[in-house]
Amino acid sequence: MNAPWEPGEHQPTYAPRPMPAAMLDALKARFGDRCSTAMALCEQHGRDESPFDVPPPEAVVFADSNEDVAAVLALANAHRVPVIPYGAGTSLEGHLLAVQGGVSLDLSRMNRILSVQADDLTVTVQAGVTRNQLNAEIRHQGLFFPIDPGADASIGGMSATRASGTNAVRYGTMKENVLGLTVATPDGRLVRTGSRARKSSAGYDLTRLYVGSEGTLGAICDVTLRLYPLPEAVSAAVCSFDTIDAAVRTTIAIIQMGVPIARCELLDAHAVRAVNRHDKLSLREAPMLLMEFHGSPASVAEQAAVVQEIAAEQGGTGFEWATTPEERTRLWTARHHAYLSALQTRPGCRAVTTDTCVPISRLAESIHASVEEVEASGLPYFIVGHVGDGNFHMGYLIDPEVPSERETAERLSAQMVGRAIRLDGTCTGEHGIGLHKQDFLRQEAGEEAVDQMRALKRALDPNNIMNPGKIFG
């Protein structure tokens, strides 16, 4: 196995396993033109939103069914060839990179909604269904799926990375909202985990084992999810603050008072400035909370009044409402554009992004120290965060031609993550480990726990074909 990539180095180790000609011949015989070695396609599947540059996979296979996925894995296992499951390509920590070569297994064509059980508030979808596609399909039934990581990610990828996002403060993460899976195992079997029941005491919880496994234990083929009724009333609001500390203190007070806020997002002044330019908005360019309230008209009004009072006590100003769907969509679209908007503020840059999550009582301390460090470095940056559950993201904007900037960003990232762990938090609230955070996982979990993870990996994937080199090398 590869040694993990350490913070401060510029690239992960690249140690390809050459693909036997017999493997490629077998793939072409089985999949025809759905197996491609075209360089442009391989390069497309060899990049995600991380700053790493790694040679692409040797082949891309497009699966149309669970049986296709199982067939690819059976062949790969027989020939000891790595397979990297691919959804929408939006991951941030190098999850999709072919650090040991092999096959990118594209599940985007597996995009059917298999069944909607409206009475039970559940749905079963193929792995390639995206969250926007799912919500468009079920909206007419008065239902929605709340997990919103920002990008229009695939449900399979969201499950594999244990995604969360803007609604997690009220509705939880993928961990709480995946009820069952169909998984193709590395030796080509199809295994069903979980059920549509809301709880179970039947054996090991294999569903939770695969949710968050980042494609290292098997390939997720279909997913059964919890759904929620569309709220009767929805209202969004923005409020500006003179300092990030004041915005974070407001968030802490909201959560500690038990206000059932649905979304509570932080944008620092740099992020607000970027989205103003990108989305032609006129928001005050200062730290800002973007909030949303769900419920009955009366409960939404009550929540909003309480939050407005809390914000005023912390010096919040410019409390503005967005009650129409069009106004809310404009604000949330701008929030989801924050990453790309920030990149455009420094043409040609790459973003080294990191996220941490800490207990809500330690959030102000964590963000304040991280801001002080990056300000002292002089490196351009931006902050966005799902601060309602203690999760925030720092993006360092670096010139890829200046190695010292990358080194500075990695040093700052390591300091930020180390602080979160010391504050009883986690090295990643939602990005996952991938390549970038392997050393941080050891710091957080300890060698004994990581050894247990390795033991599970060896037991389920003895030939190490599933997304090798990720999580712990």
Domain ranges within the chain, ordered by starting residue: 113-229, 232-431
pLDDT at 450: 95
Fill in the amino acid letter for 63: A
- Nearest Cα neighbor of 332 from 275, 388, 282 is 275
pLDDT tens-digit profile, the chain (473 residues): 333 334 334 356 778 888 999 999 999 999 999 999 999 999 999 998 787 888 999 999 999 999 999 999 999 999 999 999 999 998 888 999 999 999 999 999 999 999 999 999 999 999 999 999 999 999 999 999 999 987 889 999 999 999 998 999 999 999 999 999 999 999 999 999 999 988 899 999 999 999 999 999 999 999 999 999 999 999 999 999 999 999 999 999 999 999 999 999 999 999 999 999 999 999 999 999 999 999 999 999 999 999 999 999 999 998 888 878 888 888 888 888 899 999 999 999 999 989 999 999 999 999 999 999 999 999 999 999 999 999 999 999 999 999 999 999 999 999 999 999 999 999 999 999 999 899 999 999 999 999 999 999 999 999 999 999 999 87
CA pair distance 209, 447, nearest whole angstrom? 19
3-class secondary structure, 73: helix
Q: What's the rounded Cα separation, in Å, for the pair 354 and 148? A: 18
Q: What is the pLDDT of residue 12?
A: 62
- Nearest-angstrom CA–CA distance, 107 and 87: 6
Distance CA 459, CA 40 (A): 36
Q: Matching CATH topology for 113-229 and 232-431?
A: no
The domain made up of 113-229 has a fold known as 3.30.465
> Residue 162 is encoded by which pair of tokens?
């244990």
In the prediction, which pLDDT does 325 show?
87
Q: The whole model's pTM is what?
A: 0.92
Per CATH, the number for 232-431 is 3.40.462.10
